Amino acid sequence: MAYNNDSEAFPTAVKILIAGGFGVGKTTFIGSASEIEPLSTEELITTASVGTDDLVGVEDKSTTTVAFDFGRITFASQHVLYLFGTPGQDRFWFMWDELCTGALGAVVLADPRRLDASFAAIDFFESRGVHFLVAVNEFDGAFHYEPEEVRAALKLDPRTPVVLCDARDSRSATTVLVALVQSLFSAARPT
Amino acid sequence: MAADDDEIWTDEKAGRLVRPYTVSNGRTSPTNKLDLLSMVKATGRSARAQLDPDLALALHLCHDPTPVVEVAAHLKLPAVVTKVLLSDLIDCGAATTHAPRPAADPTDRSVLEALLHGLQQRL
């Protein structure tokens, strides 16, 4: 095919993933940071599952629909940042390579009432080598932890930033993204 | 039929009345390499009147450079079906896309600087 070689005509799109357990406020966060109301779409992913005892060695492939929300922030520099909320069911989006490929980094939103719901996303990004930070969504103020307590509870690498936020607040959500980009900068710096 | 006056055929409760794969004639493999953030833009070289309604609407949505994922959201179609439609538009010259870009490099300082600057301006 003939591609359009005039790259000036196309803005550069980059993405950051917004992950975390079910009901932690991913869509709220995306809506607060985004310049548009969050949009929703779905994708069909192929999931391979190993057969049962009766079908040793037989792999069964099936497709599953995963729905996800996303938002957008357009910058004057011809860069467009997309915020992709990961689908609710971890076991499916973990198999969705395209979601992770090319992501600059990820925000793992954590609910202070159930920090353990963040483990799956943290493990996943650590194993994939995706740079991430943990943002504790303190929306109702009922539970308050210091960042260091969260770091210890989640057994995070000392270099992984932990920040507190209110996902409903535009400024707070944007500040989380600033913290992520700043930490990407630090990671990019030759040591 | 022009896209502007053609609504997607939906039912409030049931959602889209035409099954997704009908739209792409059962195809799930686009002929062009597109990812969720590939930008597609109408070339203005095709009369929308000659296109199927879904193709016409997809083309209408790409008046300005628009990524696959946004077109999919507006068409209410799975991304993979949307890629097939957009690929058809590219093949017939009605739309164009950029050459596949290497994945964004999280250590590319120029990109990080642009993001940081842009985000801080929103605070």
Confidence grade of residue B28 (pLDDT, cut at 50, 70, 90): confident
Residue A136 has pLDDT above 60, yes or no: yes
Task: List C-alpha distances in Å: A26 to A43, A65, A102, B42.
Answer: 18, 19, 20, 33
Domain covering A11-188 in this structure, CATH number: 3.40.50.300
Return d(Cα A170, Cα A136) in angstroms, integer.
15
Task: List C-alpha distances in Å: A75 to A94, A178, B15, B113.
Answer: 30, 14, 34, 12
Per CB-CB distance under 8 Å, the chain B contacts of A39 are 69-70, 73-74
Confidence grade of residue A51 (pLDDT, cut at 50, 70, 90): very low
- Higher-confidence residue of A191 and B57: namely B57
Residue A2 has pLDDT above 60, yes or no: no
Residues B106-120: pLDDT tens digits?
888 999 999 999 999
Q: What percent of chain A has pLDDT over 70?
A: 87
Residue A67 near chain B (CB below 8 Å): no
Scan residues 117-146 of A and list those with Cβ closer than 8 Å to B: 131
Q: Cβ B112–A185 below 8 Å, yes or no?
A: yes
Residue A62 near chain B (CB below 8 Å): no
Average pLDDT over residues A106-124: 93
Residue A55 has pLDDT above 50, yes or no: no
Q: In which element (H, E) is residue A28 found?
A: helix A26-33
Burial, A66: exposed, middle or buried (Cβ in 10 Å; 0-12, 13-18, 19+)? buried
Return d(Cα A27, Cα B106) in angstroms, integer.
24
The pLDDT score that the predictor gives to residue A4 is 60
Confidence grade of residue A184 (pLDDT, cut at 50, 70, 90): very high
DSSP A56-115: TT-EEEEEEEEEEEEEEEE-TTSEEEEEEEPPS-HHHHTT-HHHHTTEEEEEEEE-TT-G
Q: In which element (H, E) is residue B70 found?
A: helix B68-75
- Higher-confidence residue of B41 and B107: namely B41
In DSSP terms, which residues pair with B95 in a beta bridge?
Answer: B42
Per CB-CB distance under 8 Å, the chain B contacts of A14 are 37, 104, 111, 115
Q: Cβ A41–B39 below 8 Å, yes or no?
A: no
Confidence grade of residue A89 (pLDDT, cut at 50, 70, 90): confident
Best probe of the B interface among A64, A107, A132, A181, by most B CBs < 10 A, is A181
Residues A4-24: pLDDT tens digits?
655 557 999 999 999 998 889
In terms of average pLDDT, the best of A115-129, A132-146, B13-27, B62-76 is B62-76
Mean pLDDT of all residues in chain A? 87
Confidence grade of residue A49 (pLDDT, cut at 50, 70, 90): low
Q: Cβ B119–A178 below 8 Å, yes or no?
A: yes
Annotated domain spans of chain B: 3-121
Residue B102 three-state SS: coil
ipTM of the prediction: 0.87
